[in-house]
Structures are given as structure tokens and as C-alpha cells.
Structure 1
């Protein structure tokens, strides 16, 4: 499938999605959100893909926010629909993906860009990256999960300050807060993310998927994370990967996982 706003490359079992709107600092418009949904969906259904890296084109921005010109004159109902649809087809969709997604923050990650990074499972930032949720400076609030995921990652007090001041933070500040997992030099960013992906793909895809589901369950209203963990743990016993993993351990050899 051909895309207008994103690029996809594949190297063995690792795919890289690059948001490619450098003239707009990779801002998210409706078309880009839809293309990202289609790309993530296709990669999730591809049994050969075990990990995904998400980044932005150029050196300035991962995603510098949403494309404000698209919704500047929206009504209340249109605003509600914009938020609900975006969360459904992209942000929540990525968080609940069965394949782990690593966000490679190569520059500005602002507004919807930071919200997209927070929906990913792991975040790595270039030391030149800047992050923030500046929505209140425009008379609106984060609408793609920012008010929910930021407190989960860095705590309520810090999240309140970031959102209410609309301030940007550096990559080092983000690391100290726990917003990003690692900070590296810009030229090392994709290689470092690939190293993490390589460590992930050595393990059982079915177990990885269930582990992510169990972790996410702790943050979902109406779900009991411990119960989800117990059930997911039990389901592992019925997988081919479990039989292969335990047998390989007993036989003192490397396991060959299939994800079944």
C-alpha cells in the first residue's frame, strides 16, 4: 500500500514507520492519523513483524503537534468527535497493539506528538529533543490521551505543572521524570532503538503481547490488572511458545519462538 504522509521500511522482523511531513514539522492531520492506523494495523497482522520503531523525518521534529489549521473553527460536537476518533483509531490503538512500538524522538514532540509517543510502549529521545503539551496556550486541552497518560508516566504533580504551564522540557528532564526510557545522541537514535528491538524479538511474541495487555490493564477503568495477569499467565501454558521455551531451557539451548 502506498502512503502520502508516512514511509515504511522493514529489516527482517523489525519495521520502521517514519512520519514524513517535514514541511509541517510532521504535524498530525486527519490523513496522517488514518495512514498511521492503516500502517500499524497491517504490520500487526504481518506475522513476520515482531517490533516497530516510530520516528519523524528530518532533524527538527518527531511530531510538532496536531495540524491546528484543520480544526481551528470546529464546533463543540466536532471537537468531541475529533478527540474520540483520534484516540480510537490511533492513540489507544497503538497502546493496545500486540506488537511492541518504540518511539524514536528525533526532535520536537509537542501536543499530539508527545501524546503519540506516550501511547507507544517504549520511548527513546535524542538529546536535542524537546517535549511538551502546549494546548492550554491555545485555549484547549490535550485531547489525544495526554491528560491521562502523562500522569501515569510521571505522576500527577509533574503532569499538572507541564500541562498547566504549557512548558517544554528537555530530553534530560524527560528522562529524570521517567517520561522517556533513554536519551542518546541524535546520530545514535535509530541504532539504539534497533538494539532494544533486537532484544525484544529474541523473546516469545505471544508472551510479549500478553505481558503488554496485563501491564495496560492496570491503567484501565473497570479492569483489574492482577486478574488480567492471572488469566494471561494461565493462557501462556496453552501456547506453543511456552512449550518451546520450557523445553529449550531444559535442553540448555536457545528457544525458537513462533508466536503461536
Structure 2
């Protein structure tokens, strides 16, 4: 098993469990990760996911260079049509999850590992975390969203420096440039991530999905974006969850949402 899953109330915890390989993904682990995301999508009772790596040394070093890239190169050289690098079980490229995903980054977050973290909605890290997109060192470019998501997450100049040099940045730098939301001690990392995931899981699930959709579509024109926001707002106002939300507010109690 290269991927572990655990359900904690309404949260799915997904752990890359290949510590001897710095939690890099070989084809088998990549498929297992795809299965985990399918589980997350299929179960309506799971509202938030937390992605992390086993141990304290690495979140993920990305693709297992000895296993994944040689196989993919063979397919490229063979002229196989319709090739897709759906890395991270599709999380980094090829799969759009409607529900929020939090990355709990413990240690090195490299290449495809960073692309997976960038595909998450929120990132929390431990003090020993490092981040890099080192593909240029190996004469390739990121293939799972790194060149697209990193410049949207951090200042363009920092993104270009990281992409062109492949040099890593530390946790403090990642926090300073906005790559991570916060730094917490290693022994508090999962507790912090789970606390945040649990908090989000108590919010209206239709609303969190709509918010994620709107943010994801944020590259459209401001006029179109504001109209899409209004469309989602009108849709949500009509739901039972919205009625429950303002009823709970008026009655000074915690809301109970059903996703309807």
C-alpha cells in the first residue's frame, strides 16, 4: 500500500505512505491516490480532505524518477496518442475536486509534490518544510500545473526564480511570499490541519463548493466573474441549507446542514 486513507467524521485524511522513497509516487501509488480521490468525490458525507506524507522527512518528492518517468518517456517515444500526465491521482492535473482539500506539508515538498500541494486549496507546513520545482535541473519542465499555479500563488518574480533555478525555499520564505497559510510545529501539524478541516466541514457544503468553483474560475473577466458570483449567490439563497443558516443565526444555535 502506497496510500493510506482514514475517515475522521466528515474529513478524509489521505497519507502518501512511501517514506523510504521520500513519499514519491510510483505508478501503483498514483493509481491508489486516484482511488482515494474517487472515494472523496463519491461519498457525500466527506466534506473536506487533508493530504499529507508519512513521517517527518517529506510531504512528497513528486514522481518516482526510477519508476514513473522512464515509463512515460517510453510512451512518448513510441508516439502513443492522447498522452496525459495525470499526476497525483489526477489532483495536480486532470481532475477537479469540488470539495476543499488542505495540504499538511511535513518536510520536503518537491517537484510533483509541490504541484500536488499547489492543487490543494490551503497549505500548512512544519518548520522543516522546503519547497521547490526542480524540473529544470533534469532538463524538463513541470508537467502537472507548476508553471500555472505557482505564479498565481506567489509573486511572479519569486515564481520565475523558483521555476528557472530549481532552487528550494524554506518554510519561512514560503510563508512570507504567501505559498503557505501558516507554519506550525511538526507535532502540531496534523492537529492544526484537522482543526481547520473540521471547521470548514461545519460550513454549508453547497456554499463551500460554490466558493471553490468561483475562485477556480477567477481568471475570467471581472464583469463575468461578478455575474457568476451573483448566479451562485441566487442559487444558494434558494437552498434549504441557506434557510437553516439564517434560522440558526436568529435562534442563536449551531446550524445543521444537509447539503440540500
Q: TM-score w.r.t. structure 1 length? A: 0.91
Alpha-carbon distance, 1:127 to partner:
0.5
SS at match of 2:109: strand
Tell me how far apart the structure 2 counterparts of residues 103 and 135 of structure 1 sit (CA, whole Å): 21
SS at match of 2:174: helix
Give the direction of change, closer, same or farther, for the CA distance of 1:154–1:90 in structure 2 (3 Å limit): same
* More displaced stretch, 33-42 vs 13-22: 33-42
Give the direction of change, closer, same or farther, for the CA distance of 1:194–1:241 in structure 2 (3 Å limit): same
What is the aligned residue count? 254
Tell me how far apart the structure 2 counterparts of residues 56 and 184 of structure 1 sit (CA, whole Å): 16
Q: Deviations over 1:198-248 (max 9, x none)?
A: 221221111011011101110369x94323212111110221111111122
Which ranges in structure 2 are unaligned for 5 or more consecutive residues? none
Q: In 1, are the aligned partners of 2:153 and 2:178 still within 8 Å (CA)?
A: yes
CA-atom RMSD in angstroms: 2.1
Aligned to 1:161: 161
Question: Which structure's residues are more often helix, by fraction?
Answer: 1
Aligned to 1:10: 7
SS at match of 1:71: helix
Residue 48 of structure 1 pairs with residue 56 of structure 2: no
- The residue correspondences of 1:1-260 to structure 2 (distance < 5 A) are 4-69=1-66, 70-72=68-70, 73-74=73-74, 75=76, 81-83=83-85, 85-86=86-87, 89-92=90-93, 96-219=96-219, 224-260=224-260
Tell me how far apart the structure 2 counterparts of residues 252 and 99 of structure 1 sit (CA, whole Å): 27
Give the direction of change, closer, same or farther, for the CA distance of 1:87–1:182 in structure 2 (3 Å limit): same
SS at match of 2:15: strand
Alpha-carbon distance, 1:194 to partner:
1.1
Q: In 1, are the aligned partners of 2:34 and 2:88 still within 8 Å (CA)?
A: no
SS at match of 1:9: strand
Tell me how far apart the structure 2 counterparts of residues 220 and 186 of structure 1 sit (CA, whole Å): 38
Q: In 1, are the aligned partners of 2:60 and 2:109 still within 8 Å (CA)?
A: yes
Which ranges in structure 1 are unaligned for 5 or more consecutive residues? none
